[in-house]
Chain A
Amino acid sequence: MSASLVMGEVLSRKKQGEDYYSLTVVAPAVAESVAPGQFVNVRPVGRTAHILRRPFSVYRVHKQGGWASTFEIIFDIRGPGTEELAALDVHDKLDVMGPLGNGFRLPKKHSRCLLVGGGIGAAPLFFLAARLREAGHRIDVVLGARTSELLLNAMDARRLASICRITTEDGSAGDTGVVTDVLGPTIERCGSEVVYTCGPHAMLEAVAGVCGAAKLPVQVAVEELMACGFGVCMSCVIPLRVRRKKGGSGSGGVLYARSCTEGPVFDGSQVIWSDHIAAPDTIDLASELVPPPAAPPRAQHVPAGAGAEHSPPGN
């Protein structure tokens, strides 16, 4: 495990629009090693009423050398934990555990990558886009939110993307509707070979559905409640349909995987979305189950690098 427990320092705190807050934190051990889709689990120092850390996927990283590198998280206020974080000042200490989880798997060969983000959940896609761009991949973006105020960094999205589609539910920016309204045509137009997505659960399910119909590999970063973030509390599990290991018998089974450890990035085709709340009865934990390959065997392209990492967002 490569995660560290370090005391970071807030370098800057910004309010973005009406609802979002960003914290840039000096924590070189974390910033130098974190990969897109991985997350940090943070806690202000000296507060006791709300005991648990709060997990956030990394929004951006600024490498400044081994002693000053920073990572940035962005969030909206959802409860007392995020309220405390939003009230932090420059130079305040922040207890940081990370990087945690498995991040997005990047394509090995040049690929046309479509990034689909909803609301604040789009955060890890900006870090991913930066790395995809460094590696020379083509990036297209679909960014959605309820209102234009809640669109996360549409300016950067437009700058990073070859093609950028914006949707808002109230029509205050881009097309009126939700990301999946424009997803199919955008995939066609861009010739997308792999889709990366992060956002609300219902959006992830819908995006995975469209990609499944188009037989397109889709990596989803999920956001689940977690107490520990490093694999021991078993709070953040998500049901996956997985294939049986080579040499095993039967057709496979269902596995409760930990979003913090096996995720937070999962193969969208494996996630059992509809049984998310009701535990399946057929679960088979006894056999050794392994996930199918990250990149389904399709001709002409190699989407996600096999055997690399994946990861999550969260609050």
Chain B
Amino acid sequence: MTRPSLAVDLAGIRLKNPVLAASGTFGAGREASGFVDIARLGGLITKSMTLEPWKGKPTPRMCETPSGMLNAIGIQNRGVAHFISEDLPWLVRRKATVIASIAGNTVDEFAGVAARLAAAGGGIAGVEVNISCPNLEDRDNMFAHSEAATARVVSEVKRALPAVPLFAKLSPNVTSVGDIAAAAVAAGADGLSLINTVLGMAIDVNTRRPKLAGTVGGLSGPAIRPIAVRAVHEVHRAHPGVPIIGQGGISSAADALEMILAGATAVAVGTANFINPRSALEVAGGLSELMASHGAATVAELVGAVELVG
């Protein structure tokens, strides 16, 4: 049998393989480029950028938990202007496939970032709208917790930046991720990113203080993979035509295949990049072998191919 093809069509973006680096775990590629040729990645979803630079949260911002980690970084970033002037030209020179992740505290801020990216005139293959970061000031009003707020952000970003596919990054911390997904798609999302981190908290029992200065944070890593698989499965069943970037705890080819079988068209490796910045490439390599053992010639034929019993 011929070697399986890893190429996928993700909402119109041609990816050489379906394994991307997840937002917030790969910067804008520079730091990891000492370890890996970023042109060989399926794609790179940038650290979320905001209209103005954000300072982020106080430290400690991170703690390890069983099979995972909690973070409350607060999207420290140098702003969209810095991305456009410094990072984007570098990424283009390195021939990376770039999905720009954008964030904001208001709908206008999201739209402003999108407008700047549109005015930059190319270089990005897509945009991921991070409406689900659990570390913003107004955690109780996370956009991705409300169908109406999700729809407002998505439609305004789409209006400002119509040229590239838009992926709405959704939160698992909701009663029905399917309902939020429906609102995002109706508002113009071309695809969905599932999932962002799971809200969590850890306490130092000696000091009785939270281990994060932000008190609560986002849980990531292998600990959350079953939550992500479930969310991808549910949303894919409800919206089979909507491409999904499945993410949450993927660190091996088998993890990636699991996410694809649940319904993901592509996957993103996140926390595993912290341990091994070559993770995404290694997952892609392993996926090719796994596909061969499944007798699959293309990734597409495995998407949502979980065989449910009963």
Q: Which of A's residues lie within 8 Å of B, judged by CB?
A: 1-3, 5, 43, 48-53, 81, 224-238, 256, 261, 276-280, 283, 285-286
A235 adjacent to B78 (CB under 8 Å) = no
A215→B60 CA distance, assembly (Å): 31
Interface assignment of B140: CB less than 8 Å from any CB of chain A: no
Known A2-B34, A51-B222: A277·B58 in contact at CB below 8 Å: yes
9 CB contacts below 8 A, A to B, read A48-B67, A228-B273, A230-B31, A230-B32, A232-B27, A232-B277, A233-B25, A233-B274, A238-B59
CB distance from B301 to the nearest CB of A (A): 31
Complex: chain B residue closest to A286, CB-CB:
B53
CB distance from B261 to the nearest CB of A (A): 22
A43 adjacent to B34 (CB under 8 Å) = no
CB distance from A15 to the nearest CB of B (A): 25
A277 adjacent to B275 (CB under 8 Å) = no
Of B24, B58, B64, B68, which contacts A279 at CB under 8 A? B58
Interface assignment of B98: CB less than 8 Å from any CB of chain A: no
A279→B214 CA distance, assembly (Å): 11
Interface assignment of B62: CB less than 8 Å from any CB of chain A: yes
B55 adjacent to A279 (CB under 8 Å) = yes
A5 adjacent to B62 (CB under 8 Å) = no
Known A3-B34, A226-B62: A237·B71 in contact at CB below 8 Å: no
A280→B55 CA distance, assembly (Å): 9
Known A235-B73, A237-B59: A51·B32 in contact at CB below 8 Å: no
A278 adjacent to B58 (CB under 8 Å) = yes
A127→B109 CA distance, assembly (Å): 49
The 9 closest A-B pairs by CB, nearest first: A1-B34, A285-B53, A235-B62, A231-B31, A228-B274, A283-B55, A279-B58, A232-B27, A227-B274
A1→B31 CA distance, assembly (Å): 8
B76 adjacent to A51 (CB under 8 Å) = no
A237→B213 CA distance, assembly (Å): 13
A234 adjacent to B58 (CB under 8 Å) = no
Of A5, A53, A233, which contacts B71 at CB under 8 A? A233
